């Protein structure tokens, strides 16, 4: 069982800032951080290659009702409500956006883009601009509601390119990896604060507040903060719930969490388990030891070229110990929930993807090891894991949070 003192940084005591390498501190210190011109040129080159392969003359990149992050990847603007970006190699991008009070900041942040207020007619104005440019065959990346899609389809041949966008986002550049390191540091700070602050009498909602206070002051935002609290003697949950309840922490509880804080569109993900003012029971010791062993077994086979079956086989220690999983065992991450999405032998996540790991993919390995359903609704579980970078010969940790079964109090 690990001692948690090594995790309690000055920040978690409310005394100071995150500990980041100087180059990451420099990124964080910018008013509105943006990638280099070379990084945007790389992305735009890749978009042009996708267009050429699909035989489209223009590309429409979409955020609609806060869904879809492709405009942010292409321009730097998060999209907020609506953002419709027209992209064509060699031409300045045009973006129609909402709302008017978001318009000044959109103009400031969007990289090399002619930003225009959509006037609540963004799709119609986008269609007008495409017609003015002589567009015939238009590719689309991002979610567009049916009514708006039909407006586009009435004027042009439309080709869906979401699958191509996913492939573009799965392999990270060096600059993107640095932004993910910042997201990982934010997420680690959330866990450190949670472990330091958890005590009997606090509600799950108050625990969530502790997590967010750790990184919001530094410019982080919340992607997820799933926190499960249950009695070790009589567990009522086996996977962290997506929404906190007013249940209060009690001595003898176990707390298990999945935390992802964003640095713009770049999150970390850290998954940990700790007990409250009590040593773990034999069951929770066994669950946690199995989860840690599964994490090590999976990461030991991770490298460029790893097959999906190798990962599933490596995680077989879970079933060998008589346990299973609830959550996905492995998933791609960083800008979205990407392939590969894998379960385990006893809880598959559908057919195995026909792919191998590639260098500079970022994936989360997260054994949520649980007891097997006994038919009476009584199950116990833990969370272990974090986001890693796939390298040519292995993997790189992007998080710095210590591993172990910790004890609060």
From 170, 202, 222, the end of a domain falls on 170
| Same domain, yes or no: 192 and 324 | yes
| Same domain, yes or no: 326 and 347 | yes
pLDDT digits (tens, 9 = 90+) for 287-308: 999 999 999 999 999 999 999 9
CATH code of residue 82: 3.40.350.10
pLDDT at 18: 82
CATH code of residue 197: 3.90.230.10
Rg (CA), the chain: 23
Cβ contacts of 257 within 8 Å, gap of 6 or more: 191, 194, 211, 225, 226, 227, 228, 240, 271, 272, 273, 383
pLDDT digits (tens, 9 = 90+) for 227-238: 999 999 999 999
Whether 28 maps to a domain, the answer reads no
From 170, 190, 209, the end of a domain falls on 170
The C-alpha atoms of residue 229 and residue 245 are separated, in whole angstroms, by 9
pLDDT digits (tens, 9 = 90+) for 171-199: 999 999 999 999 999 999 999 999 999 99
Write down the pTM of the prediction: 0.94
Distant-in-sequence contacts of 294-297, Cβ < 8 A, 24+ apart: 294/318, 294/329, 294/367, 294/369, 294/384, 295/365, 295/367, 295/384, 295/385
| Same domain, yes or no: 199 and 66 | no
- Per-residue pLDDT at 159 exceeds 50: yes
| Same domain, yes or no: 42 and 101 | yes
Tokens of 79: 């999209």
| Same domain, yes or no: 52 and 195 | no
In 26-162, the DSSP E strands lie at 58-64, 82-87, 93-98, 113-117, 137-141, 157-160
- Per-residue pLDDT at 219 exceeds 80: yes
Whether 31 maps to a domain, the answer reads no
Whether 409 maps to a domain, the answer reads no
| Same domain, yes or no: 178 and 261 | yes
Whether 311 maps to a domain, the answer reads yes
| Same domain, yes or no: 206 and 306 | yes
- Per-residue pLDDT at 9 exceeds 60: no
In the chain, the number of structural domains is 2
Tokens of 250: 């009690």
H/E run at residue 120: none
- Per-residue pLDDT at 357 exceeds 50: yes
Cβ contacts of 375 within 8 Å, gap of 6 or more: none
pLDDT at 17: 54
pLDDT at 87: 98
Whether 27 maps to a domain, the answer reads no
- Per-residue pLDDT at 14 exceeds 70: no
| Same domain, yes or no: 375 and 238 | yes
| Same domain, yes or no: 98 and 242 | no
The residue segments making up the domain with residue 260 are 4-22+172-404
Whether 30 maps to a domain, the answer reads no
pLDDT digits (tens, 9 = 90+) for 308-320: 999 999 999 999 9
Q: C-alpha distances in angstroms, 17 versus 189, 194, 197, 215, 306?
A: 10, 16, 17, 9, 38
> What is the rounded average pLDDT of the residues 359-382?
93
| Same domain, yes or no: 164 and 227 | no
| Same domain, yes or no: 103 and 187 | no
Whether 32 maps to a domain, the answer reads no
Mean pLDDT score of the chain: 95
Whether 378 maps to a domain, the answer reads yes
From 147, 170, 193, the end of a domain falls on 170
| Same domain, yes or no: 243 and 353 | yes
């Amino acid at each position: 069982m690990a001692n948690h003192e090594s995790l309690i940084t000055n920040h978690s005591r409310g005394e100071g800032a995150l500990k980041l390498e100087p180059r990451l501190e420099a990124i964080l210190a910018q008013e509105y951080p943006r990638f280099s011109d070379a990084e945007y040129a790389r992305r735009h080159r890749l978009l042009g290659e996708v267009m050429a392969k699909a035989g489209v003359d223009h590309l429409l990149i979409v955020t609609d009702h806060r869904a879809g992050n492709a405009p942010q990847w292409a321009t730097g603007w998060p999209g907020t409500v609506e953002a419709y970006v027209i992209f064509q190699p060699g031409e300045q991008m045009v973006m129609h956006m909402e709302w008017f009070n978001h318009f000044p900041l959109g103009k400031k942040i969007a990289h090399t883009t002619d930003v225009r207020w959509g006037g609540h007619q963004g799709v119609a104005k986008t269609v007008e601009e495409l017609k003015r440019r002589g567009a015939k065959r238009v590719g689309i990346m991002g979610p567009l509601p049916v009514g708006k899609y039909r407006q586009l389809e009435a004027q042009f041949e439309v080709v869906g390119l979401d699958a191509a966008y996913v492939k573009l986002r799965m392999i990270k550049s060096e600059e993107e990896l640095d932004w993910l390191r910042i997201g990982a540091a934010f997420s680690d700070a959330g866990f450190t604060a949670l472990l330091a602050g958890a005590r009997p009498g606090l509600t799950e909602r108050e625990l969530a507040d502790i997590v967010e206070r750790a990184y919001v002051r530094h410019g982080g935002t919340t992607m997820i903060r799933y926190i499960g609290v249950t009695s070790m003697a009589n567990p009522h949950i086996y996977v962290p719930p997506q929404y906190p309840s007013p249940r209060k922490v009690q001595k003898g509880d176990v707390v298990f969490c999945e935390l992802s804080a964003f640095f713009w569109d770049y999150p970390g993900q850290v998954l940990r388990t700790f007990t409250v003012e009590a040593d773990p029971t034999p069951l929770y010791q066994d669950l946690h030891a199995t989860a840690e062993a599964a994490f090590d077994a999976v990461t030991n086979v991770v490298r460029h070229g790893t097959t999906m079956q190798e990962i599933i086989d490596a995680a077989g220690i879970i079933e060998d110990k008589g346990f299973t999983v609830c959550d996905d065992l492995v998933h791609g991450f960083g800008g979205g929930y990407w392939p590969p999405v894998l379960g385990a032998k006893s809880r598959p996540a559908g057919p195995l993807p026909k792919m191998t790991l590639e260098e500079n993919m970022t994936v989360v390995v997260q054994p949520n090891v649980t007891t097997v359903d006994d038919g009476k609704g009584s199950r116990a579980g833990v969370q272990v894991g974090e986001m890693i970078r796939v390298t040519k010969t292995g993997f790189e940790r992007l998080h710095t949070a210590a591993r172990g079964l910790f004890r609060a109090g």
